[in-house]
């Protein structure tokens, strides 16, 4: 059957640009057209500003191409006309393949149509052959009935070369089962009825980080902007090394753009360097995709910012307490770890916003590129690697309709309120909180991390302050640096692994564009706290007062002036607090912590860990900022715990003597959790027949305690060959155990008592009241007293009461049920290191035996070790219990002996 193939190539095509072979350069062109319903390319968030060209480019930009398309279908082929000197050819041409004979059922052809191959070449009239640039394989849309035929839409087709993506082709292909098709013009006017005149307003702020080109410094660059066949060139930067901004920042360009925004041509950016003898090489280029985000309505009225009603709460006056509130209290309260934040939230302090990503990735801040976006400029000869970045362009675009009638006034310009185009000296405060999930760098599977910071020519490193043996280091460091923006805009933060002999390994780094944060209207240079305070952990630290910031924001956004009527009932000046409330309703950056991902250039794209931090940026011309936050990690306080073991009672009797009597040789062990190497024990109370023991023995333990976190800090080496000590946090738990001493076998365990010093069970005053209820709550379950939610009648913090004495039960588990195996009387006293020096005491009953003085215990006479006093052992073990039996036995033996002796001494008869 006869078929007809109609191919429409009407849209601009971005192709690979090959230069003369002697130049040694090549370039890939990427398309950014999208159709409406059948768009099959990569989806893109229109609200998210691009960080540059999102497609892989493959070279530098020195000249243009003369592209021509060869379309092949079965055994036929056609060519488009050649478009000279363009990077984005727009053929706007229809190719017809007539009288095509295809064997088979038309329905089968409709289900599996033949493919259409489109090959793109760079036409060279002086060469034998054209340079091949890429090809794409397309499937035509089959139409069997012209009565139900619908006009095909242009679709995006991927162009490849050597299995690499080399561009996109916007085209439509239709296979018709009828030869009677109306003839169409092969070319149509580009400015047809679907094109309208629009204004492209350009904010060309400046160029950044331009790399050397041909071993020479880029010193006098200018920018060429092309769109829709029109172009404009900016002024030349006279000395790029001293000031990289353009002297004129706003440009207007009239272009004809299609009504359908998906078919809009791209914006091409080219940077040329003006060198001696008229040499102007292209040192960088980028293509801006998807212009839909730049469309705006300049006549739209400014919406008045309506503020939601504020609930006015009368904040209580905070009484002074012993509890110390610091910045880490705010951090842990925000993280939800109330055990480490104390009563921070209960006192009405502010919380802080913690983002799990970079601040630029937060959707509501649009990458902090609301003032100007950053477009990466590419160049260089690259084969298989990523394209070489030759620099950056900072600018923005706005597109809006322009009346064709010259008598109608043009719409107002969009870029009117611009900041001063001058260099700004700034003070930068970098707060590094902590890192987590770092990649291990040592053989032990851990890391010795430290920080390096680079800003311009200024560098800082804390190599001597590395955090050893951890993948989750807590730094708590603040760094202050100075810089000049835009000359020094990139803040690079790196984490390294400390090595004693070999070079330090890099863990990862992250880079922050400080210029975007300073110029953004979201106020990213210094986050807004929840309330305005002049002191305390939420002290105001910005250079300007909230009322001054509000006035600047209103001016920048061209909003109507707001009158602030002071009210009463707020902490601090009412006017400033109300101004801060208005600012917080404007969507500005609040006081925050951002979580930045660390990357290693040797392992691109692989997460090397996370870094929690934030940056404050203060222009020096505004004056001195407020004091910095003190985020130094909490330092533990030294305490000394004195535990005196007085007596025991009702201890299980584990041994049996020769007469079957139960007895135990009792002694007590004690240590702090995590300090098992410092175990202490009393002397032995021998031959306890009733479970009673008398000791008068003092245990002394030292501990480094964090009051706000209710934990003890331990530092110890993991093994003998470790160079550094590893820090560990454990609860302040005292462990007391009662044992039975055995000389020729292992000692027998009798009972255990564990006491958390932050929630000590209230002891019993008498032994008979010392039961399991001392260690249980009202429901009979084991007690769980959190440090800041204690049951007043049950739990006592030793760090508050400092001294207590009484009876506690020692328990042992039998069939998973606790049983009291003994009762122990002891006193607990907690002293600071200064108090311990003023009131010295020795361990046990050693000197100095004071505070209090411990006398030797008055134990029963039976309490001794049997083989050290044999006669005493016979007296107490045998004689006291069997003296009457022994006397009777002696009397019987004496009688027997006298009877035998009498018989033996009796006289013999005379008859004998």
pLDDT, position 384: 44
- How many other C-beta atoms are found inside a 10 Å radius of the C-beta of residue 435? 28
What tens digit of pLDDT does each residue of 450-469 get? Answer: 999 999 999 999 999 999 99
pLDDT, position 787: 43
Banded model confidence at residue 201, pLDDT cuts 50, 70, 90: very high
List the single range of 193-197, 318-322, 706-710 with lowest mean pLDDT: 318-322
Q: Is the omega angle on the peptide bond into residue 254 within 30 degrees of 0, that is, cis?
A: no
What tens digit of pLDDT does each residue of 893-903 get? Answer: 888 888 888 88
Q: What residue ranges define each of the domains in the chain, with the CATH number in brackets?
A: 67-176 (2.60.40), 193-298+325-406 (2.60.40.150), 423-486+515-622 (2.60.40.150), 637-775+795-838 (2.60.40.150)
Is it the case that residue 484 has pLDDT exceeding 70? yes
β partners of residue 272: 222, 282
Calculate mean pLDDT across residues 628-655.
93
Q: Which of 359, 370, 360 is nearest to 395 (CA)?
A: 370
What tens digit of pLDDT does each residue of 722-769 get? Answer: 788 888 999 999 999 999 998 788 999 999 999 999 999 999 999 999
Phi then psi for residue 250, to 5 deg, are -115, 130
Vertex 59: Cα angle to 54 and 62 (nearest 5): 115
Sequence-separated (6 or more) residues with CB below 8 Å from residue 825: 645, 646, 647, 648, 649, 767, 805, 806, 807
Give the number of C-alpha atoms closer than 13 A to the C-alpha of residue 330, restricted to the C-beta side: 22
Distance CA 554, CA 590 (A): 17
Distance CA 507, CA 440 (A): 8
Is it the case that residue 574 has pLDDT exceeding 70? yes
Sequence-separated (6 or more) residues with CB below 8 Å from residue 896: none
β partners of residue 227: 230
What tens digit of pLDDT does each residue of 281-292 get? Answer: 999 999 897 888
Is it the case that residue 788 has pLDDT exceeding 50? no
List the single range of 85-94, 103-112, 176-185, 235-244 with lowest mean pLDDT: 176-185
Distance CA 257, CA 197 (A): 6
Distance CA 442, CA 764 (A): 52
Average pLDDT for the chain: 82
Calculate mean pLDDT across residues 571-598.
84
Q: What is the pTM of this model?
A: 0.78
């Amino acid at each position: 059957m006869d078929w007809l193939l109609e191919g429409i190539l009407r849209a601009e095509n971005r192709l690979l640009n090959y230069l003369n072979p002697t130049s040694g350069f090549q370039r890939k062109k990427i398309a950014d057209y999208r159709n409406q319903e059948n768009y099959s390319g990569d989806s893109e968030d229109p609200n998210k500003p691009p960080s540059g060209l999102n497609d892989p480019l493959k070279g530098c930009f020195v000249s243009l191409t003369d592209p021509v398309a060869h379309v092949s279908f079965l055994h036929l082929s056609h060519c488009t006309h050649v478009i000279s000197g363009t990077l984005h050819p727009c053929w706007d041409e229809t190719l017809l393949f007539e009288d095509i004979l295809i064997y088979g059922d038309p329905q089968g052809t409709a289900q599996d149509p033949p493919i259409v191959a489109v090959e793109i070449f760079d036409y060279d009239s002086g060469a034998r052959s054209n340079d091949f640039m890429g090809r794409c394989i397309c499937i035509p849309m089959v139409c069997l009935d012209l009565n139900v035929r619908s006009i095909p839409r242009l679709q995006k087709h991927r162009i490849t070369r050597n299995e690499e993506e080399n561009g996109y082709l916007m085209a439509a292909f239709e296979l018709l089962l009828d030869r009677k098709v109306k003839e169409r013009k092969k070319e149509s006017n580009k400015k047809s009825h679907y094109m309208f005149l629009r204004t492209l307003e350009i904010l060309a702020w400046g160029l950044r980080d331009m790399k050397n080109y041909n071993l020479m410094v880029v010193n006098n660059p200018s920018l060429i902007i092309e769109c829709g066949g029109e172009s404009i060139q900016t002024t030349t930067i006279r000395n790029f090394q001293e000031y990289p901004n353009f002297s004129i920042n706003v440009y207007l360009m009239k272009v004809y753009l299609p009504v359908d925004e998906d078919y809009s041509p791209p914006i091409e950016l080219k940077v040329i360097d003006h060198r001696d003898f008229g040499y102007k090489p292209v040192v960088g280029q980028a293509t801006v995709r998807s212009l839909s985000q730049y469309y705006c309505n300049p006549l739209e009225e400014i919406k008045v910012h309506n503020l939601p009603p504020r609930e006015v709460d009368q904040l209580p006056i905070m009484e002074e307490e012993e509890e110390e509130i610091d910045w880490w209290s705010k951090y842990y309260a925000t993280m939800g770890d109330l055990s480490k934040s104390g009563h921070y939230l209960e006192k009405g302090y502010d919380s802080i916003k913690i983002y799990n990503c970079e601040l630029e990735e937060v959707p509501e801040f649009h990458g902090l590129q609301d003032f100007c976006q950053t477009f990466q400029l590419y160049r260089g000869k690259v084969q298989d690697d990523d394209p070489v970045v030759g620099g950056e362009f900072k600018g923005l675009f706005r597109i809006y309709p322009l009346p064709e009638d010259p008598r109608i006034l043009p719409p107002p310009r969009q870029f009117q309120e611009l900041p001063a185009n001058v260099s700004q000296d700034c003070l930068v405060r970098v707060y590094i909180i902590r890192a987590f999930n770092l990649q291990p760098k040592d053989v032990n599977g851990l890391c010795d991390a430290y920080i390096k910071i680079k800003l311009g020519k200024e560098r800082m490193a804390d190599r001597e302050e590395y955090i050893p043996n951890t993948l989750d280091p807590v730094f708590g460091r603040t760094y202050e640096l100075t810089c000049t923006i835009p000359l020094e805009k990139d803040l690079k933060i790196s984490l390294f692994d400390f090595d004693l002999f070999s070079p330090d390994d890099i863990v990862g780094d992250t880079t922050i564009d400080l210029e975007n944060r300073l110029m953004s209207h979201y106020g990213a240079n210094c986050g807004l706290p929840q309330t305005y305070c002049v002191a305390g952990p939420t002290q105001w630290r910005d250079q300007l007062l909230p009322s001054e910031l509000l006035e600047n924001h209103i001016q920048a956004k061209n909003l109507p002036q707001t009158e602030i009527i002071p009210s009463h009932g707020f902490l601090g000046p009412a006017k400033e607090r109300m101004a801060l409330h208005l600012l917080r309703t404007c969507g500005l950056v609040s006081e925050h912590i951002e979580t930045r991902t660390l990357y290693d250039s040797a392992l691109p794209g692989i997460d090397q860990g996370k870094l929690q931090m934030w940056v404050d940026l203060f222009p020096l011309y505004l004056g001195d900022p407020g004091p910095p936050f003190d985020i130094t990690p909490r330092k533990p306080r030294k305490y000394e715990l004195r535990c005196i073991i007085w007596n025991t009672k009702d201890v299980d009797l584990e041994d049996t003597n020769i007469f079957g009597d139960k007895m135990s040789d009792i002694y007590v062990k004690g240590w702090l959790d995590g300090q098992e190497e410092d175990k202490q024990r009393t002397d032995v109370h021998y031959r306890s027949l009733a479970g009673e023991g008398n000791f008068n023995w003092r245990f002394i333990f030292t501990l480094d305690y964090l009051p706000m976190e209710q934990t003890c800090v331990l530092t110890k080496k993991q093994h003998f060959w470790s160079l550094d000590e590893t820090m560990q946090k454990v609860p302040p738990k005292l462990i007391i155990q009662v044992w039975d001493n055995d000389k020729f076998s292992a000692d027998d365990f009798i009972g255990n008592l564990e006491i958390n010093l932050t929630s000590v069970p209230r002891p019993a005053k008498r032994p008979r009241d010392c039961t399991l209820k001392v260690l249980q709550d009202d429901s009979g379950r084991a007690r769980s007293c959190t440090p800041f939610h204690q049951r007043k009648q049950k739990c006592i913090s030793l760090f508050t009461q400092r001294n207590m004495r009484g009876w506690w039960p020692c328990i042992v588990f039998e069939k998973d049920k606790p049983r009291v195996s003994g009762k122990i009387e002891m006193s607990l006293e907690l002293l600071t290191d200064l108090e311990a020096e003023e009131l010295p005491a020795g361990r046990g009953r050693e000197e100095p035996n004071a505070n209090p003085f411990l006398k030797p215990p008055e134990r029963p006479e039976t309490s001794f070790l049997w083989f050290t006093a044999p006669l005493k052992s016979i007296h107490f073990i045998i004689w006291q219990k069997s003296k009457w039996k022994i006397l009777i036995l002696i009397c019987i033996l004496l009688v027997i002996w006298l009877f035998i002796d009498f018989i033996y001494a009796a006289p013999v008869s005379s008859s004998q």
